[in-house]
Chains A and B, each alone.
Chain A
Amino acid sequence: DGGITQSPKYLFRKEGQNVTLSCEQNLNHDAMYWYRQDPGQGLRLIYYSQIVNDFQKGDIAEGYSVSREKKESFPLTVTSAQKNPTAFYLCASSIATGGYGYTFGSGTRLTVV
């Protein structure tokens, strides 16, 4: 079955450490997205990519970086510059055009220890 796989499901980060969250899709979708979810704040867009080798900053990109070297993959790195990284991170994909909606992964919960 097609879908989006996020790994790991839980991740612990020490202060000053960079960590990378994986997101892989086999839906042949052109567009991919990273959202951060905090209680009571809904979803906030970190980065999105419409096509391979291209990505755009979302509303809260500071302290994060991404790459899009393959259509299937859109990893997110949480850098040490992100001062409050504890959150639930969601990856999504969509057909680039039209109102098809998003397909989401099951999320990665990142905790700073």
Chain B
Amino acid sequence: AQSVTQLGSHVSVSEGALVLLRCNYSSSVPPYLFWYVQYPNQGLQLLLKYTTGATLVKGINGFEAEFKKSETSFHLTKPSAHMSDAAEYFCAVSHGTGGFKTIFGAGTRLFVKA
């Protein structure tokens, strides 16, 4: 069975500081891993994804994530936070053929202080 754990329901950083949102997954087969962002009262938007190949993946808005199989992690980072990054972020895992039964983490709300 697959599962996703996001460490920290809330993370607060200062503008210009490093953003680090943690995600650990459990999967019995090679996973596909995703990060999504959600702004208030909106749907989710895909930030980046890992399927195969290079383990460091770059996404939109300056975010990147690294797949570490040995640690079963897929942490999301951004070198310098901007006020517009304040949102909720979801890590998700699926596998194999199809996007069916994608499992989402509970989400981490990012606050950015001026």
| A:70-103 near B, CB below 8 Å | 88, 90, 92, 94-103
Binds B, one of A12-20, A60-68, A104-112: A104-112
Q: Which residues of B contact A50 (CB under 8 A)?
A: 98, 100
Q: How many residues of B contact A (CB 8 A)?
A: 25
On whether the beta carbons of B98 and A97 are closer than 8 Å, the reply is yes
A27 within 8 A of B: no
Contacts beyond the supplied A41-B106, A97-B98, A102-B44: 17 A-B pairs with Cβ under 8 Å: A6-B43, A35-B104, A40-B106, A42-B90, A42-B107, A43-B90, A90-B44, A94-B98, A96-B99, A99-B51, A101-B34, A101-B36, A101-B99, A102-B102, A103-B46, A105-B43, A107-B41
Residues of A in contact with B (beta carbons under 8 Å apart): 4, 6, 31, 35, 40-43, 45, 48, 50, 88, 90, 92, 94-107, 109
Residues of B in contact with A (beta carbons under 8 Å apart): 9, 32, 34, 36, 41-46, 49-51, 90, 94, 97-102, 104-107
